[in-house]
Amino acid sequence: MADTKQALAAARTRLGAFAKAAPGLMKGLSEVSRAATKEGHFKAADKELLAVAIAVATGCEDCILYHVDAAIRHGASEAALVEALEVAVEMGGGPAVMYAGKALEAYRSPA
């Protein structure tokens, strides 16, 4: 993830290609995503930080890129990201530490 902008663009290209191949599924997923990220008790930035933590704990690099980018757009601070990453490491152990570093790198070099 050395070039965050390029990596995010590549992920979006792959997602777009899959969306064309499976439009019904992606329409449904888009609805789920809108419902899940709608502000309620948690602000949108907080929900994106939750998604980053889950992406780190499960090791999904593209998800890290997407959700760090969204967290930044919703105004999440680096300090809030680090707190979310601490929880991810608690839940994901050693491998999550490696992905946490990638998430922090993505935050510090936004797309």
Per the structure block, which two tokens stand in for 21? 């191949």
The confidence score (pLDDT) of residue 110 equals 78
Torsion of CA 62, 64, 70, 76, to 10 degrees: -170
**Residues 49-108: pLDDT tens digits?**
999 999 999 999 999 999 999 999 999 999 999 999 999 999 999 999 999 999 999 999
C-alpha span between 50 and 12 (Å, rounded)? 21
* pLDDT score of 2 more than 60: no
Homologous superfamily assigned to 4-108: AhpD-like (1.20.1290.10)
Q: What is the DSSP letter of 109?
A: S
Task: Break the chain into its structural domains and give their ranges.
Answer: 4-108
Cα distances (angstroms) measured from residue 39 to each of 46, 52, 84: 9, 17, 18
**Residues 29-66: pLDDT tens digits?**
999 999 999 999 999 999 999 999 999 999 999 999 99
